[in-house]
Structure 1
Amino acid sequence: MTDIAVIDYGMGNLRSVWQALEHVAQGKQVTVTSDPDIIAAAERVVFPGQGAMPDCVAELDKRGLRHAVMDAAASKPFLGICIGQQLLFEHSEEGDVAGLGILPGRVRRFPSGMTDAAGGKLKVPHMGWNQVVQVTDHPLWNGIAKDARFYFVHSYYVDPAEPNLIAAQTDYPFSFASAVARDNIFAVQCHPEKSQQAGLALLSNFVNWDGRP
C-alpha cells in the first residue's frame, strides 16, 4: 500500500510535487498514480494540477477519477494544490464549468485593470512570491510564519461561500482565500513544491497530519 498518492489526471508536470514530497516523506512511499484502487488504498492523497479548469474536469472524467477524488476528500488527509484547490468548489468562471462541489463557493477571475496602492498596474496572472497570511490555526501551519511568502501562478481564485473555510488570505490587491480547510481537507492556491522552506514545511506537516483540524 502506498502511503501518499499524488493524483495524476494528465494536467501539469507532477515531478516537482513528487520530488518535494519525497524530500520530506521520512521514508513513506510517494506514488504518482491515475489508478483509482491505489488512490483508495493510500493513507494520504495529494490533488495537484495546472491548466484550464474545463480541461481538468474533462480529464478527471475521462480517466474515471472523479469518484476516487471525492471518496479521498471524504475519508482521509487530503491536500489540494492550485487547480486541485479550485476543482473542490461548485463552479468556475473559467469556461463556466461546474467543479466537484465538495466545498461551497465559486472560482472567480481576477478583474482586469487592477492597480496596487501606488497606482501601478497589476498583471494577470498573479505570478511570483506573495504573503500567505494565516487566519486560523491548523496543523499544516506548524512551524510556518503567519505571514510567510509562497509562490503563486494563477488567474483565478476561490471565493468560498462559508467564511469559516478560509485558512489564509493573500492580497492582490484585495484579499482572496489563498488556503482553505475543512475537516480532513486542506487546499492552497500557491505552489508549496516551489515555495522553498515554507512550502517544504507545509508538505512535511501534511505527511505527518492525521486529518484532524
Structure 2
Amino acid sequence: MASVAEIEAALAAVGDPVRADHERRYLKSTRKHYGTGMPAVHRIAKGVGRLDHATLVDLVEALWQRPAFECCAVAVDLLVHRVKTLGPADLPLIERLIRTSGTWALVDNLAGNAVGPIADAHPETGVVLDRWAGDEDFWVRRSALLAHLVPLRRGGGDFARFARYADAMLDEREFFIRKAIGWVLRDAARTRPELVFDWLLPRAARASGVTMREAVKYLTEDQRAAVLAAHRGS
C-alpha cells in the first residue's frame, strides 16, 4: 500500500500550477492545490491497492489532514471505490468529511457515491438522513438530498423521503440547495417522469429557476409546458 507521502508526491508530480491557480479561484478554496486532473486522482487512488476496512479508514483520515485539495479528493475516491465495504457505522466519518469539505467538488461525490449506496442498502440509516436534512450546515442538507440521486436515477430509491426533504427546502435561497433539488428531480424523471411531474406541478410556483431548469429536462413535452406555466403563474 502506498503511504500518504507517496500519494501526495504522486499528485504533486502530475500537477499543473496554472490549473492549480484556476481551480483555487473557481472553487473559492482555502486549501493548497497541485492542479492535478481528476483522471490522475482516480488513477492514483486506484493504485493504492487492496485495503482492509481499518486500514482504509486510517488512510482516509490521514489524507484528509493534509493541506492539499487533491489529497482529500483521493480520500473520497478511496471511499467511493470501496463503498461495498462500508456501512452505517461509517456515516459519522463521512459526515465529518462533508462538514469539513467546504466545496461541492468533495461533498457531491461523498453524498452521491458513498452515502447514497450505504443508505440504499441500509434503510435504517434514514434517521441519519432525516437529521442531516434539518442541519444548519447547507452542505449537510445538500448531502441529504444528493444521497438519493443514484438510487432514484436507477429507478429505485426512496422518492417519498427525498420529496419530504425537497418540500421543506424548496423555499431556500441557497444556490447549492436549489441546484441539488433540481438535479435529483431531473435524474428521477429519467425513469419515472410521471412521479416527478405529479410532485412538481403543485409546487412549481415555489420552485426557483435554478431548480426548474434541471427538474424539467426529462419530463415529456406536455408535462414540461404545464410545469413551466405553473412556475410562471400563467
Give the TM-score of the pair, scaled to structure 1: 0.34
Query: Is the helix fraction higher in 1 or 2?
Result: 2
Query: Is the strand fraction higher in 1 or 2?
Result: 1
Give the number of the structure whose alpha-carbon radius of gyration is greater: 2
